[in-house]
């Protein structure tokens, strides 16, 4: 994009004709991944398709979308991604989906995030919202909601966990001062009535329906947490203002208010009180795919620094031939490869182990989130003043590298999950 052109033009002391290019880096990544972790052929095909989609469709729109008002949403990217099948990656083939599992989704999201983490999160959050319907095993529920993802126009979903007051502490005791301020579900007639406020819901401003976690009245703690599928055009649902975020600006996060929202009993996933078990399973998918996004953010920043160090000449040689720069590039590359291996392992576990272990996904996200910040900041430093300018893309990667540390588990929460697994108990 513009940053690449401007960067090349800025080389005033000479250009190294055999310098590595972004296409070389992409080819290196494509060649390295199978040698480190063998991908199924269908996942390799998906990866290559998404890489081309990110290059031709997403990249030309990245800067404009980042500079747009915080409540603008680029439906055109979503439509083209829907045509490619990005909103049905986790749907089984018998449903008309691509059936690539968590592994395929994670690999695809890395490719998107290496160009634009916001775009990766739009698709990733929708797939996470879908997971409630797919995991329900309820043919009637699936028959009502799955066809929407197979139509001509894209349908987005979202996932409502975070509370206005309690954050992600969904197991708040009933005698807590804030117990009445979490989202609740009350049995009434042939269904339930939901009341509460959910904050920072990714895709909440544009999704058609939502997976909502609510506490059943009279049943505090894990025994009362229940999962509901709620159409967002239901009476009593209000979408609040879109958050004006530092990064991930093309992915809209908003408040969802539920005031006496009637939800039929048929929209309960796995029955009453099974919300915690489902949330744990869903978190493994979420943490794995966010680790892939963070890996993509690190890779995107690294690719810019790598090209810059191949083109920029100091003291008669390109920067990458200077020992100080060479060490930085080497460490950045190794961190990215290590992060990729961790998320690939976690994805394999999520797809093949029941129940899926919490250690792998938590460890993958804990590591990838950290190295994304380290690599992005190092890339900015290597570009000097250019790295601080929006036209060179690196500062966007820096901003977005910090976002993943917050959602789907902070470093502190992830550390508890990892140590809990080490000592054989739930954190």
Query: Count of CB atoms within 10 A of residue 288's CB?
Result: 32
Annotated catalytic residue within 259, 331, 408, 412: 408
Annotation marks residue 52 as catalytic: no
229: β partners: 211
- Rounded to whole angstroms, how far apart are CA atoms 295 and 33? 13
**Beta-carbon contacts of residue 24 (< 8 Å; ≥ 6 apart):** none
**Beta-carbon contacts of residue 323 (< 8 Å; ≥ 6 apart):** none
Residues taking part in catalysis: 408
């Amino acid at each position: 994009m513009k940053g690449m052109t401007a960067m090349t033009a800025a080389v005033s002391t000479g250009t190294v004709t055999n310098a590595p290019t972004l296409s070389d880096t992409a080819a290196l990544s494509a060649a390295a991944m199978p040698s480190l972790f063998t991908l199924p052929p269908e996942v390799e095909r998906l990866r290559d398709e998404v890489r081309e989609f990110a290059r031709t469709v997403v990249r030309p729109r990245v800067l404009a979308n980042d500079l747009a008002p915080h409540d603008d949403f680029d439906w055109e990217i979503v439509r083209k991604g829907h045509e490619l099948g990005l909103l049905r990656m986790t749907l089984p083939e018998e449903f008309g989906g691509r059936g690539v599992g968590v592994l395929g989704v994670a690999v695809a999201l890395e490719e998107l995030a290496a160009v634009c983490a916001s775009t990766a999160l739009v698709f990733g959050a929708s797939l996470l919202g879908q997971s409630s319907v797919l995991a329900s095993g309820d043919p009637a529920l699936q028959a009502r909601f799955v066809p929407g993802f197979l139509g001509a126009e894209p349908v987005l979903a979202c996932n409502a966990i975070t509370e206005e007051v309690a954050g992600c502490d969904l197991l708040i005791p009933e005698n807590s001062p804030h117990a009445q301020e979490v989202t609740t579900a009350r049995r009434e007639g042939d269904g339930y009535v939901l009341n509460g406020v959910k904050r920072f819901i990714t895709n909440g401003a544009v999704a058609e329906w939502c997976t909502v976690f609510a506490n059943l009245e009279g049943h505090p703690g894990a025994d009362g947490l229940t999962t509901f599928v709620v159409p967002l055009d239901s009476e009593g649902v209000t979408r609040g203002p879109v958050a004006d975020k530092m990064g991930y600006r093309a992915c809209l996060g908003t408040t969802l208010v539920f005031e006496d929202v009637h939800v039929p009993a048929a929209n309960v996933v796995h029955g009453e009180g099974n919300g915690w078990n489902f949330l744990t399973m869903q978190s493994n998918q979420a943490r794995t795919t966010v680790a892939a996004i963070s890996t993509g953010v690190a890779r995107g920043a690294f690719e810019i620094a790598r090209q810059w160090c191949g083109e920029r000449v100091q003291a008669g040689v390109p920067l990458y031939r200077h020992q100080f720069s060479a060490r930085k590039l080497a460490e950045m590359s190794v961190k990215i490869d290590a992060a990729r291996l961790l998320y690939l392992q976690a994805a394999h576990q999520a797809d093949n182990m029941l129940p899926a272990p919490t250690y792998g996904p938590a460890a993958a996200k804990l590591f990838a989130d950290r190295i994304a910040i380290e690599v992005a900041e190092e890339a900015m430093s290597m570009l000097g003043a250019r790295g601080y300018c929006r036209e060179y893309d690196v500062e966007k990667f820096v901003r977005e590298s910090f976002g993943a540390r917050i959602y789907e588990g902070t470093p502190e929460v992830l550390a508890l999950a990892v140590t809990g697994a080490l000592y054989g108990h739930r954190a």
